């Protein structure tokens, strides 16, 4: 995949910490100094949705995996259940791996598939990473707050143990955003050059009582 170096103007304001990408090339806005999060909506890939639903129903969903992958090479993940839709999942993960590696410019990628039945990171936080890609394949998507909707002076330990909902971190509860399944999120962390004290403010969603299972793909650059 080739990513053009001249992205089209985004629909979101240039001063916003969020950029909503209308096309893949808009993901290049993650390199803008003020941008902390890029969102690229995608339509659900039905064979993948059916794959995870069937794996959950049959009790073969597993615990996910962690591996180091090289762009351009075939993914070999023997732990994935041999059900219809497995090839579609491998194809999409390889596609996202190659896209992410080309965007960031890294030779290898740390790839995690998390299978969860509870919120992995229930409080709003910032990652100690460079730029991470997230894609929820099944269940509830990642939640985040824009810079304008959060008070960073109440983030993490600065909340003094109080819940996010009462600490003052969330300026406006109605401003909490959530990614839809299959959407791509690029989250800038504090280890990105010049981004210390900043970073995308996000959290895992509360489990859906009717369907608590969540399957999340995370990609991190390795040099």
Joined together, the tokens standing for residue 218 give 């995370």
- The domain locations on the chain are 27-222
- What architecture is domain 27-222? Sandwich (2.60)
pLDDT digits (tens, 9 = 90+) for 144-199: 999 889 999 989 877 778 888 889 899 999 999 999 999 999 999 999 999 999 99
Q: Would you state the pLDDT for residue 10? A: 42
Contact 174, 80 (CB under 8 A): no
Q: Token pair 């791996």 is at which residue? A: 97
Which of 89, 110, 91, 114 lies closest to 100, judged by CA?
Answer: 110
**3-class SS of residue 97:** helix
Contact 48, 90 (CB under 8 A): no
Q: Would you state the pLDDT for residue 2? A: 39
Task: Give this prediction's pTM.
Answer: 0.90
pLDDT digits (tens, 9 = 90+) for 98-155: 999 999 999 999 999 999 987 678 899 999 999 999 999 999 999 999 988 999 998 9
pLDDT digits (tens, 9 = 90+) for 38-87: 999 999 999 999 999 999 999 999 999 999 999 999 898 988 999 999 99
């Amino acid at each position: 995949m080739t990513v053009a170096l001249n992205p089209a103007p985004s629909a979101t304001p240039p001063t916003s910490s969020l950029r909503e990408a209308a096309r893949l090339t808009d993901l290049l806005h993650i390199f803008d100094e003020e941008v902390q999060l890029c969102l690229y909506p995608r339509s659900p890939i039905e064979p993948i949705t059916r794959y995870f639903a069937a794996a959950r129903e049959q009790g073969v969903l597993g615990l996910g995996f962690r591996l180091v992958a090289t762009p351009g090479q075939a993914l070999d993940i023997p732990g994935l259940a041999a059900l219809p839709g497995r090839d579609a999942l491998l194809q999409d993960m390889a596609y996202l791996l190659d896209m992410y590696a080309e965007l960031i410019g890294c030779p290898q990628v740390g790839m995690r598939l998390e299978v969860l039945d509870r919120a992995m990171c229930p409080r709003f936080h910032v990652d100690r990473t460079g730029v991470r890609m997230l894609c929820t394949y099944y269940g509830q998507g990642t939640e985040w707050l824009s810079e304008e909707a959060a008070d960073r002076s109440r983030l993490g330990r600065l909340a003094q143990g109080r819940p996010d909902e009462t600490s003052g971190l969330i300026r406006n509860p109605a401003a909490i955003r959530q990614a839809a399944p299959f959407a791509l999120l690029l989250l800038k962390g504090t280890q990105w050059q010049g981004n210390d004290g900043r970073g995308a403010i996000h959290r895992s969603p509360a489990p859906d009582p009717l369907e608590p299972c969540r399957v999340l793909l995370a990609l991190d650059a390795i040099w």
